[in-house]
Amino acid sequence: MNRLRVPIARLLKMSLRDYPGRLCSKVYVYGCNFRCPYCPDTGLVFRQQGGSVVPEVDVYDHLYRVRGYVTGLCIGGGESTLHNGLLGFIYRVKSLGYAVKLDTNGTR
């Protein structure tokens, strides 16, 4: 049984630009309800067959290891609000003491 709730395409371990005022990590999720011809992340719109997925537990483990100097997590993609498990994922990240920034197209 696949327990994946948020299909994470990749984890950026540190960023100075994705969460203004914070050193953050960033996850990119698969799936988007737009088909913008100028999208810089077209590989995230559809998960290609065989496309790798980062397990959520790997994100939690990373965040646990960098506590104290990374203070936020940015969730982008793709459109993360398309996934039913997003709220649970955010709750778990916040329970580790992180601020969460959500990049969204605002349609959901």
pLDDT digits over 30-78, tens only?
999 999 999 888 889 887 766 789 999 999 999 999 999 999 999 998 8
Assign 103 a pLDDT band (cuts: 50, 70, 90).
very high
Domain ranges for the chain, please list them. Answer: 8-102
pTM listed for this prediction: 0.90
DSSP string, 33-92: S---TT-TTHHHHS--TT---B-HHHHHHHHHHTBTTB-EEEEEES-GGG-TTHHHHHHH
Q: What's the pLDDT at 40?
A: 87
Q: What type of residue is 18?
A: D
Beta strand pairing call for 24-29 and 99-102: unpaired
